[in-house]
Structure 1
Amino acid sequence: MKTLDDAAETSLRRNSEYRRWLLGDLCLDLGAGIGAFAFPLITLQVTGSLGATGLVGLVQGIGALAGLVPGGLLADRCERRRLRLLAAATGMLVQAVLITVLALGGGSLLALAVLAFVDRLRAGLLGSASNAMLKQIVPPALLARAFSVNEGREAAVEMAAGPLGGALLGLSILFPPLAQFLGNAGSLLATLSMRGRYRPRAGDAAPTRVRDDLRAAVTWSLSQPIRLQLMGVAVAVNLGSNGLILTVLLALAADGVPAARLGLLNTVLAAAILAGALAAPRLVDAVPTGVLTLLPVLVLAVLGALIPFAPGMAWIALAYAFMGLGLAPLNAGTQGFFMHITPVGMQGRLGALMGVVTMGLMPLGPMLAGWGLELVGPRPTMWLFATVTALGALCALLSRDLRRVPVAAGWERYADEQGLAAEE
């Protein structure tokens, strides 16, 4: 099932529907990036406690995970454009409430935790639809390139989000949530301009039960060792690397480093990711996807072990630069490959299941970072996350099927040979 014009089959630039989809995601990502950077600092400013900041981060993560599987099922049962519209509208509502609470001085730990949970739950429930639409907008031959563009867009947004979030927070505690409100508004307008209707199944398809849909997705996942291997790598790497970065952020903030300077670290990381994203389209065409998966994970593990010994922000920034270079090719290759082998009608459920597993331990990151900093200090907490990242690298080294995935042009042949091809 495709909803794109024939003229767009060979070029993303000529695909007007993709451009509208991309604009909506760009607006959403910019607002969310500013909010994601500023919210832990807002929580720290309001509560004055690293432990409380970590607790709110844990609640946020639980909300996101709670919404993923129901959200994936929704994305495979409901028209996806409508879900994306609803996601933007409810995002505006939550940010409006947060702005009001902060303006009235009611930003207690409980209020921040409840709003954080609701916002992430909402995003989990409704956010799956956006990425699930992509295979219906972009032809299979351009999926890897589309994911490379997404990585570049996200990196460019991250470059701006850190400094902007720090600068806005320096002006007023209300400005970061206002930016997130406007980002949701931009996504709403861009989605309204989209022409297609993105139904996950044909209109004459027989109705199915929710439990049968979920069972089919679980069975599909368990039947593919390569998918399980990626999940194992991602669980450890996501928890370890994100926990390490958050620990660095909170430790420097507790030492009195201004938010605007902290934002520069995000900018360095994002600039490196952007550089990798610019090269990603050529890399996924020329370098085996298995290699693009293994090498960046090994680099993350090595640099994660070195960051606790960094003597200052300049050295941390240098480590971030090297860490970021391989992330876009890694994501473009793996996400493009797994979307390629997943049927259109399963995109939401499979994405949600992989998200629950790969991000399942991430809510522990803020909690471990906040409590670790208070109980044992920065360096031991960083060592903990570096060790977890190293375990992810070991999983990648041992994941034979994942390491053998060829270049993008060979995905279809490899999927056929391994019995992974999607049946639409």
Structure 2
Amino acid sequence: MNSITNDTAVTGSPAAPAPHVTRTPLWRNPQYRAWFTADTASGVGLAMKGFAISLIAFSLTHSLPAAGWLATASVIAAQVADVFGGTLVDRHHRKRLIILNAVCGTVLWGVVFVLLATGLLTFPVFAVIIVTASTINGLFGGATNAMLRSIIPTADYPKAQSLNQGRDSVIGLAGSPLGGMLYAFGAWAPFAAASLMYAVAGVSAGMLRVDEHVRDAIGRNGERGNANATTDATVSARGSFVDDFVAGWRWTLRRRTLMAICTIAALLNFGINGIFAAVQLQMVGSGVDSVRIGFVSTAVGTGLLVGAVIAARVCDRMEVGTGLVVMSLVALATMVPMLVSHAYPVILVSSLLCGLPIPTINSLVMGFVFAKVPTDMQGRVDSFTNLLGMLPTMFCSAIAGSLLPTIGFRMTVTLFLLALAANVAIVLAMPTLRTIPSADRWDEAEL
């Protein structure tokens, strides 16, 4: 990354010193409240239908591999679409994309609800809808996070991220158990709830009043341009979709620290998500009831909620490198008990402990990247880093579903634990990662 030494270089404001401005608290910012409501509704909708997908797939096919591969296909579709979605997000009005994504979610999950309620749903139709919805979300879903940069100042992002982590923890606590209870009431119920939540997200996004033309003052490669230039002139100076797409990849791949962060994210995501995919599919295949399966996510959510409280207190002053080391060690240590036993209490305790450090490290790492990436590059960098960080994770459900019937739960978990062990070795061996400073010294660090 080209060195960015102050916030004015990131936001495109004039280089001259600006007078002190008292920032409005996040909750008093009506635009942030509307954004938060839209993002929360989408998250609840995701939790509602996400829990039921494997259960529906298994009920339609009675096959763990089929259930696992459907989950994998949806992740692959979302990640591939997200690669191009980041460029779309940077080239178009993000508010409109948020609303479009919400409308599509409302319609698609509404269709699943109707087909399930009438007994007309088949596995091929279900698979097509799942993959289609994942593709649409991959194309437009990144607009929500990218738009946050136009709503709050960079200095507020670590705090906003800790709030988001707490919100996500509450969704994790309530979402999956509620989804399990809804599923027990009727297989169609979680999808009806998801459709409703996406509708709420669309209405909330419609209340946003953000002037996104501020992004036009920034050049295509993240450099500040003439803030007084007209929108038409800026748009005409932009390259084609392909030019912007390539520019985003070039910018991202040239940042060594960012690439190292993507590597450890890939290993952490693969290890943790792989273990939880194995846990869920093992329970589904063993006939465990949906409510008990949902409480595994509740345990994770409890850990995340407690972790979010911790993050809110330490994210402003903890060094990012320290957080990375702690997260890597804790992730490995908390998952090891599942190697010894897959008893339900062991799974619950490990799930709870695993969630504790995640909000802090997410706030630190995402805040660091957010602060160092120019405003008009947020969509592309987010999509590209998501792809790199999630690439192995795309196959977690398929791997778990294929290995469980052949080598059993313990050996399947061992495979994913090896990824977590490799991550620990990399983090400890790379001073570039271990020396990323705290937020007040991010201007000294290179991305």
Question: Fold match, TM over 0.5?
Answer: yes
AA in 2 matched with 1:67? A
- Residue equivalent to 1:317: 348
Question: Which structure 2 residue ranges, 5 or more long, are not aligned?
Answer: 1-10, 14-19, 218-230
Out of 274, 277, 293, which is 1:262 matched to? Answer: 293
Question: Which structure 1 residue ranges, 5 or more long, are not aligned?
Answer: none
Between 266-275 and 219-228, report the one with greater CA deviation. Answer: 219-228
Between 69-78 and 369-378, report the one with greater CA deviation. Answer: 369-378
Counterparts of 1:58-69 in structure 2 under 5 Å? 58-69=72-83
- Residue equivalent to 2:110: 96
1:11 aligns with 2:25: yes
1:201 aligns with 2:216: yes
TM-score between the two structures when normalised by the length of structure 1 = 0.94
Counterparts of 1:98-177 in structure 2 under 5 Å? 98-177=112-191
DSSP-derived class of the 1:173 partner: coil
Judged with a 3 Å threshold, the aligned counterparts in structure 2 of structure 1 residues 311 and 75 are, in CA distance, closer, same or farther, namely closer
* TM superposition shift of 1:43: 1.2
Between 369-378 and 385-394, report the one with greater CA deviation. Answer: 385-394
* TM superposition shift of 1:100: 2.7
Contact 1:155 1:271 in 2 (8 A): yes
* TM superposition shift of 1:7: 7.9
- Residue equivalent to 1:42: 56
Rounded to whole Å, the distance in 2 between the matches of 1:246 and 1:16 is 38
Contact 1:273 1:328 in 2 (8 A): yes
Counterparts of 1:248-259 in structure 2 under 5 Å? 248-259=279-290
Contact 1:81 1:197 in 2 (8 A): no
Rounded to whole Å, the distance in 2 between the matches of 1:8 and 1:344 is 22
Cα root mean square deviation, aligned = 1.8
* TM superposition shift of 1:357: 0.9
AA in 1 matched with 2:138? G
Contact 2:34 2:205 in 1 (8 A): yes
Rounded to whole Å, the distance in 1 between the matches of 2:245 and 2:208 is 29
Q: 1:188-233: CA deviations, max 9, x gaps?
A: 1111111113344242412212222122222222221110101110
Q: How many residues align?
A: 414
* TM superposition shift of 1:375: 1.7
Between 284-293 and 121-130, report the one with greater CA deviation. Answer: 284-293
1:276 aligns with 2:307: yes
AA in 2 matched with 1:94? L
Judged with a 3 Å threshold, the aligned counterparts in structure 2 of structure 1 residues 158 and 257 are, in CA distance, closer, same or farther, namely same
Rounded to whole Å, the distance in 2 between the matches of 1:350 and 1:324 is 26
Rounded to whole Å, the distance in 2 between the matches of 1:76 and 1:201 is 10
* TM superposition shift of 1:85: 0.5
Out of 403, 415, 420, which is 1:372 matched to? Answer: 403
AA in 1 matched with 2:417? A
Rounded to whole Å, the distance in 1 between the matches of 2:255 and 2:181 is 46
Rounded to whole Å, the distance in 1 between the matches of 2:405 and 2:216 is 51
- Residue equivalent to 2:193: 179
- Residue equivalent to 2:97: 83
AA in 2 matched with 1:396? V
Rounded to whole Å, the distance in 1 between the matches of 2:342 and 2:116 is 37
AA in 1 matched with 2:54? P
Over the matched positions of the two proteins, sequence identity in percent amounts to 29
AA in 2 matched with 1:349? R
DSSP-derived class of the 2:168 partner: helix
Rounded to whole Å, the distance in 2 between the matches of 1:207 and 1:219 is 16
Contact 2:84 2:245 in 1 (8 A): no
Between 383-392 and 46-55, report the one with greater CA deviation. Answer: 383-392
